[in-house]
Structure 1
Amino acid sequence: MTPIPPLHELVAATHSPFHPDGSLAPEVVPVQAAFLAANGIRTVFITGSTGESHSLTCREKLTLFEAWAGAGKQHGIAVIAHVGSNCLEDSRLLAARAGELGLVAISALAPSYYKPGSLASLVGCCAAIAAAAPSTPFYYYDIPALTGVSFPVELFLAEAAARIPTLAGVKFTNPDLASYRRSLDAAGERFDLPWGVDETLLGALATGARGGVGSTYNWAPRLYQDLMAAFGRGDLDEARRLQSRSVAMIDAIAATGFLGTAKALMARLGVPVGPARLPLDNPTTAQVDTLMERLSQLGFDEWGARPLSRESQTVHG
């Protein structure tokens, strides 16, 4: 296994691109990659929660893996693929293909319909997935608010370390900072625990985080880069101001359905990722206009992502 460098940076959890009719639009992936690279993003996390994982077919995920493998190489972006599924064999198929394509890591959340009833069962699922890509680093994706599976990550690390040779760490999407600190203590320097709740990044940095994976890093990476820099030099007033901007931004987007509205925002920035799929909702044009006004009031022109040039926006079918 080639070790993955710790994710001590902003990792953008990307949207899965769709045509207006909701069908997959893999030809948009190079535009996404160009946009993110131009805005300082070096690593992406694809087909996860932001990527509407549970609304994608297995074939569609494989198509996105292939599209991102090519676009990542072209634009100097490392690609982590989420392969989790309620079907373990689908997860293993996805993991194997990610490994064949040379993606830098895979990740999987817990099954959420038939939930693992014990920590040993959860580790067993992760071990089976990781074994399908024996040369690819593996991250467990802990997001109890969506999966309903909540085992202490520090205990997961202790048990999984002996059963998953490729274990690289945990994508920690759980706002419990006390649990995060316990997990960091258990991880030491052996495992990487990127933070996954954008609106509390500052609290996580104070607790020990050194990087994060999030959806808002698609369109506001400068905001968080400046926040991390302010924290690093001890300017807590500035770091708090920027985190407040983050919270206000997220509240404004969530007011009309976070994921659908976030995808509409990306379209306004020149990246046509299309609508969110049902059962998620999408905003009206008027609602997006109102959002853009609110973001402008919050200083989006100062800290938001720079739109792509018209030439870079070209999508080749």
Structure 2
Amino acid sequence: MTQPLTGLIAATYTPMHEDGSLNLDAVPAMVNHLERSGVRGIYICGSTGEGVSLTGVERCDVAEAYISAAKGRLRTIVQVGHNSIAEARQLASHAQRCGADAFSAIPPFYYKIETMQMLVDCAAQIAGGAPELPFYYYHIPAFTGTSVDMVDFMSAAGLRIPNLVGLKYTAHKVFEFQACRELNNGRFDVVWGADEMLLAGLAVGARGAIGSTYNIAAPLYRDIIDAYDRQDMELAQELQMRSVALVRLLNKYPFHAATKVVLELYGLEAGPCREPLASLSKAQKAQLAIDLEESGCWEWLRPGEAAATKPKHAVSNGVAARE
């Protein structure tokens, strides 16, 4: 089995110019920011990175830019899923040629997959595009409409797909996540995918997590992990509530556009989202800054700083202690 994904993996945003074209010159600064914030890897062209809204050529360009900037510093996983299986195979082959550490894929989602066997068939064809690269199936039923039981799928897919090493699990069935982790004596690397429920994932064995808000709040989530590992559940719960509050605030706006605005407040070039995702107006950007301040989020939501601001406990450099 390949080395498991551990710690925080940021689902990276795709920087864009105001006209919606790619701004690949902004990628190195984004990688520098993520490395400083303590993430261990990046997940490229996923839901957060608007992969499904990019052309095939653009997806290759984004993957190359991030892999080049992150090589030797952060682990790189490229999401290659597409409604065309042939296109997904080509993107997988490209990820392998570019030196990605792993690749991942959602299934075709316009014509819904209704049976476990069809999901295995589709995943096998995609995974075959990069046979030398570790493959993580991406389970996100809220977007794909695929509700196949993941324990059954991983059992069958593990017999069919030689390079299947794990699963990116973005759903709220904690019991199913746990069952996938324990399948075949822990054969698969099952990675947690719900930021505001990280503590729940840790409680059932998650050791790696992929998420959007790790782009802007990685120190907070590192402190959650540290508190959990020390069995300081009171602090871990308190910090997780900060994540819940942050996600709720961002969800008052178009979520990904709002998170990109926070990156811009950090001095990074993130740009707008591409249609059909909405971007924030100038008035909305101004209101978001006010909301971050008035909610108390901005007091601790700063790049490279510790997550907490001593409400009940002191937190410094990811290590918590009682006041």
Q: Alpha carbons of 1:197 and 1:271: their partners in 2 closer, same or farther (altered >3 Å)?
A: same
Equivalent residues in 2 for 1:210-229 (5 A)?
A: 210-229=207-226
Question: What is the CA–CA distance in structure 2 between the aligned matches of 1:293 and 1:236, rounded to whole Å?
Answer: 31
Question: What is the CA–CA distance in structure 2 between the aligned matches of 1:161 and 1:116, rounded to whole Å?
Answer: 19
1:9 paired residue number: 7
**Does 2:179 align with 1:182?**
yes
Conservation of the 8 A alpha-carbon contact between 1:269 and 1:306: no
1:44 paired residue number: 42
Question: What is the CA–CA distance in structure 2 between the aligned matches of 1:170 and 1:162, rounded to whole Å?
Answer: 15
1:311 paired residue number: none
2:309 paired residue number: none
1:208 paired residue number: 205
Cα distance, 1:299 vs structure 2:
4.2
1:284 paired residue number: 281
Question: What is the CA–CA distance in structure 2 between the aligned matches of 1:50 and 1:274, rounded to whole Å?
Answer: 13
Conservation of the 8 A alpha-carbon contact between 1:47 and 1:61: yes
In the alignment, which of 73, 78, 83 is matched to residue 80 of structure 2? 83
Q: Alpha-carbon deviations, 1:217-239, whole Å to 9, x = none?
A: 00000100001111111111111
2:63 paired residue number: 65
2:313 paired residue number: none
Q: Secondary structure at the match of 1:140?
A: strand
In the alignment, which of 286, 299, 303 is matched to residue 305 of structure 1? 303
Equivalent residues in 2 for 1:108-257 (5 A)?
A: 108-186=105-183, 188-257=185-254
Conservation of the 8 A alpha-carbon contact between 2:216 and 2:301: no
Q: Alpha carbons of 1:83 and 1:187: their partners in 2 closer, same or farther (altered >3 Å)?
A: farther
1:315 paired residue number: none
Q: Alpha-carbon deviations, 1:99-136, whole Å to 9, x = none?
A: 01110000001111112231111111111111111110
Q: CA-atom RMSD, angstroms?
A: 1.5
Question: What is the CA–CA distance in structure 1 between the aligned matches of 2:184 and 2:22, rounded to whole Å?
Answer: 38
Conservation of the 8 A alpha-carbon contact between 2:42 and 2:76: yes
Q: Secondary structure at the match of 2:191?
A: coil
Cα distance, 1:187 vs structure 2:
5.2
Question: What is the CA–CA distance in structure 1 between the aligned matches of 2:2 and 2:270, rounded to whole Å?
Answer: 28
Gaps of 5+ in 1: 308-317
Letter in 2 for 1:219: I
TM-score by length of 1: 0.92
Letter in 1 for 2:292: L
Moved over 3 A (4+): none
**Does 2:103 align with 1:106?**
yes
1:55 paired residue number: 53
**Does 2:6 align with 1:25?**
no
Letter in 2 for 1:130: A
TM-score by length of 2: 0.90
Question: What is the CA–CA distance in structure 2 between the aligned matches of 1:98 and 1:208, rounded to whole Å?
Answer: 29
Cα distance, 1:300 vs structure 2:
3.4
Cα distance, 1:241 vs structure 2:
0.8
Conservation of the 8 A alpha-carbon contact between 1:4 and 1:105: no
1:274 paired residue number: 271
In the alignment, which of 85, 92, 97 is matched to residue 95 of structure 1? 92
Identity of aligned residues (%): 40
Q: Alpha-carbon deviations, 1:34-92, whole Å to 9, x = none?
A: 1111111220000000011111111100111111121012x612210000000001100
Conservation of the 8 A alpha-carbon contact between 1:26 and 1:67: yes
